Structure 1
């Protein structure tokens, strides 16, 4: 008997070794907290040595400070003679209540906070509870949900983040604000925080949008929304609604990356056991997220899961043939083993067909979204010329709907001004395939330039063929090219004008000598006339000398005039003559600076070039002027420029070499850049325009390198074969 009593005593001690108090922020029947507590209970109830008690604060319906003060006084009485081994507050209201009133209600009991979104070590320290508080945080994966929606549902362009104005809603706001601040991808995000559920129901959601539901349990006036009202809003919403926890799974939500509240409760129960077994205080973040989708809602909003690699669950999926006729199939298997292979083949075909249908639907949705996102007008015609399909851009171009165009031939709609232009453009394209750029005048009389491309498609199995026509708007590109040509021509003239000052200086020097000669002849004639000793032959000699000087001056100015005039047309010209003409203009300036220049032509060189003569002269002049400026730093008896001409394969090579000690290695790769100069008063466009003329206008090539005593510019020009 004594042994039996001791055994019963031991069993009682073992059965109730630990006692746990669960304080629920809400009322019994509130599904969010009920699911969490159910998970907790299923873990703790398996341990026959744990006793637990639950208190309900009902904070959803009453949350005034007076109510919490009364609740504290009530709990003082209830808990006066009770001693617990662990306190588990569920959600933010219970957690805040326990922290603020800990030393009035408890003594040394540890705390495990369940379902809160944020944890502050400073706040725990404020109440001197550093080593007593553990927590499992329920952080909704907002970024994960938005990322999943963006990657999988291409027809969703905007996402509304739906949250209420409750205390819990304010705790979630930093996560929402951080998401909107750092998310800068395809989908546009908008934070939506209405005053009450009725205004949320009547909100004008945009087409192509969806909602991410965080919570809307409480209106601004404090009225608690019933779960049935929230479910009614989600079910009847005109846009797909995604959720972040399992509360609305199967109740109208389209899907989401969710926190399973029951599993959150189970993990909380395991954490409670660890604390009871002496583990130190800890704070962990619940990350066991799951993906779920409602098949009926996906179909309702024409959504397909295309890029989700993680496992996911689909609910409300329609039953397959196998599901509907399972009993019959089992019976057939039983009575007819010979039909096994036939049935397996049938099942395989059905499964394959469903998979193909699903893949085809995904592909159709993807293709439609992709084609409508393209700015270029595109349409399809069958072999008879009937329109099979088109993208939105083509419909907008014609100002007609795709339904109206379907099955019609463009040629039958020529009364429409826009279609008339399209027909003419396609006809001209077919007649002359080398000319595939065409003008289009829209309703506002604006001109657009389109590049047309047609491709033939053919399906061998069903013998179906037709044409795809694509219009690419190149108006802006052509405007840019035209503007670029104008700017380059202007820059060429600007560069040429920059050289005019120096050329005028050269001409002035060249004219001084003949003017002095003319003056001397005139004075001599005057004095000889005065002495009346001159005869007619002497007069003729004077006139001849004067005319010779005037002719020289006229030739000089004529060459200068030809040089400054822009070349508008490509011509065949002799490069030797062009260089010698250019040197005549600047020869005096070079002689004045004691610069020796030589022109060497390899025997048998083909000197005829097709292009812009004056621009080529200007290019070589730019190089010589730069060499002249550099040579002024040399000793005056050691200044040389050498120009060499020879053929290499089918190209003419021009090499311009000086002995000005070369170009600084730091600058040699920059000298052809616009507005780059090392001269104190340089304009920085001479060598840039030389490169533009040689490479863009003449289709040639120019390069520079340092040699033994100076620099060498190499110009390569293609010649006609």
Structure 2
């Protein structure tokens, strides 16, 4: 029995410990719709949590708000709440928030505070009072400019706007925000601001307003005589006297005579702050909950007032709500209509499904037969050779293109293996690929060179994938072959075309190369002629002439040989020296570069002998020639008088041999930097737009490297990255 009582007491204490007490500090009085709506929203949220006890205190500051009153109120609350410990304080509107901040140490020490309905929130007040770690909440922010724009869009013929406000604390805060907006929009329409009239004179003024006028009711709880009004009384009196639309900024004025607007919603404020409260009560630190700076405002309108003034909101606002809209039959009996439609739709679907199922069963067999025939025709229609085999490697079938490739019938393929059709090395390689695919269930792409029975050499890309049976088991391999022989030949043809496009510059380079030896030969001939005429010609002089002439002629012959080698296509990949490739290019272009006032530097950062790369030598030289020629021509077009630099860096790392070709002839425009490798793109009037495109094809497609360009300071840097090859180090 004793143990049972202890358990009961422990359970009661546990429940008590889990209960949460929340104090709601209301700036105003009960019956004030704005704050009542906030409390209602909070209470609605708290109903879902049985362990929360809510206590509401009304400060009544709409009627009384002097410093002396607030001081007495603090003393009263201290005595009233002395023996109560709250887990959270919620303050509604500015007066309650200011009160909570000022008396936090006295009344709510170490208790977190959430605020809502705050105008002109200043975060510095928390820092000054060392409350940053205790306070968060929801700011009430009226969007005045959007309401001004809304009014002008709804009434484009509007000439005057009358703004009605009072001199309450909130009203004065609103006037501060209104001043710059009034100044801005006074250029478009006549704006009159009133906050110091008694209700009698105000109604007379409103009665005299013309049809091209609208009213923006900000606040009216007190007139200039100090007379107090409820929210209903003030708006009803203005509405009764007005023959023009009245717009508002708060939702509590709706349904009493205003058209509406982008209004600050008390319910939205209450919903937002109550969700924050649940987080705090569940243990989340309040400093981890950010202040909601964007007020949850809504476009709300009264159907009766819109209809009264023939205002079309749909043309101005996308997302909005309308109150007092008459219900249609569908709206009135929505639930019944939905249930009826759902039942009818369900029955109709069942009937149609059953009928479709019967028809489907009749058509399945025919469809399967038709599909088999279609698949056979379809696979034969493909120009690509296709075959499929089981997981043991035996061919199950193929299409017409595959049988024509091997020059055998389709029936002869069935039951054979790759070893029956392809050379041993190709068959073995593909067998390894098949095994790996059936382990990974992936795809594979590879290349092979096939010699057909009629002695043709075919370059073929093989695309393979695993296919599965209905039960999910591996069925075998499907292979689609792509004959790229013609593409490779076409690509080689394009490369040769690009070489021919460079021929003009090459001929100019040869002319430069030949200029000096021709001048030298001319001088030597004249010397021999003079000596012969004067009978002073000696055998030694003739021997020297022949020797010197042969040197010059051999130099000229080498130039032509380099030019001829450049034009030859490289038929296969080889290992060749980068340094030698550059030297041969410089033999052709060196003189032109020198006479163009360009300082050429080659930085070769490799101390282990000759740096070799694996690829197509002449095509690689073509790339170098194109890049160096482009740099030279750009510099010549810009300015041939000043000295410019052309720097070539060659260095080696773990993965690549990297070549940088750098010139300081000016940057490439950023908007075309990513286009220069595209075919037919050129900035030259006589350009083909082919050179850099072919450079990319040679480096990336044929040599598996990378080519890129970028601006670095005032230099242009072309970078070639070529992967290492076994034996190239």
Same fold (TM over 0.5): no
What TM-score do you get using the length of structure 2 for normalisation?
A: 0.42
